[in-house]
Homo-oligomer: A and B are copies of this chain.
Amino acid sequence: MNTINRVLIVGGTHGNELIGIYLIRKFEMKHHLIAKSSFETVTLLANPRAYEIGKRYVDSDLNRCFRREDLANSSLLSYEAQRAKEIYQTFGSNCRHPTDFVLDLHTTTASVGLTVILASKHPLNLQLASHLTKINPLVKVLYSPIKEKDNCYLDNISECGCTIEVGPVAQNVLDAALFQATEVLVAAILDYLETYNKGNYSQFEETLTFYQLVDKIDYPRNEQREIQAMIHPQLQGRDYEPLNLDDPLFITFDGQVILYPGISTVYPVFINEAAYYEKGVALCLTERRQVKLKTA
């Protein structure tokens, strides 16, 4: 990609994650905040009906509805399946006015701080992530290797893009510090894309540290799928901190401690995210990796 012509900023992909929703509202009222000279910036409140009912989704998780196969499947009729098709047909890479970069704003109940999840390892995404960690060392970069045909996330509708996750913040709560931090990240991303378009981006080879998703762990459950243990207090809130063999992982309702059985050091993320109980995910495990960057 030589030029970014159109950037899409999305909020409210999940209806109970308020920061993105209120940021989109702000940007729609004050468009100059996201206007750039070299590309068009558009905004989207992705799941307005879920926001109205104060829930993550109406029928199904919108941020799991973007598999290419599902987008082409006319028998999928849930509200979110249809909404995904509308979004893809309006902004996707194959529509008449494609969006070149999509930025999807989320929150989590987990203590991930400021996390940028790369939609792909496209050189522009990597360069952008490197830039963001440089201007704010607290920014963490997450990457989940997914086969193209299995990619169900909204940020996959364009060639480049990322998802921002900030936390901890409860569902249906506005946290001012995280609202402001998200806004600063959005501004930094738009600034970088403007610089990219003007050819002034960094020309040096650099190294980016990122966290690659390698596994997921569910809560211990009984045969009725009922949860039998909670995240251990020593692990709660420790996203991105090293987890080693025999570190406390879960604690049962009777106080029995379940230790981490893995041999190599991992870095958990999305620890105790409210929305992942139903997905069978108590925490995600990542490995810390480095990649050498070349200019995008």
A contact face: mostly helix, strand, loop, or mixed: loop
Verify A176–B233 contact, CB threshold 8 A.
yes
A109 at the B interface (CB under 8 A): yes
Q: What's the least CB distance linking A278 to chain B, in Å?
A: 8
A247 at the B interface (CB under 8 A): no
A164 at the B interface (CB under 8 A): no
The size of the chain A interface, using a CB distance under 8 A, is 33
Verify B22–A236 contact, CB threshold 8 A.
no
Verify A236–B272 contact, CB threshold 8 A.
no
A272 to B172: give the CA distance in the assembly, Å: 10
Copies assembled = 2
- Which listed residue, B173, B177, B180, touches A109 by the CB 8 Å rule? B173
When each residue 139-176 of chain A gets 1 if its CB lies under 8 Å from chain B and 0 otherwise, what string results? 00000000000000000000000000000111111111
* Residue from A109, A170, A232, A275 whose CB has the most chain B CB atoms within 10 Å: A170
A104 to B26: give the CA distance in the assembly, Å: 40
A55 to B109: give the CA distance in the assembly, Å: 16
Verify B233–A177 contact, CB threshold 8 A.
yes
8 contacts between A and B (CB under 8 A): A22-B227, A26-B253, A168-B170, A173-B274, A174-B231, A176-B233, A176-B251, A177-B236
Tell me the A residues contacting B by CB distance below 8 Å.
22, 25-26, 54-55, 109, 168-177, 179-180, 227, 230-233, 236, 251, 253-255, 272, 274-275, 277-278
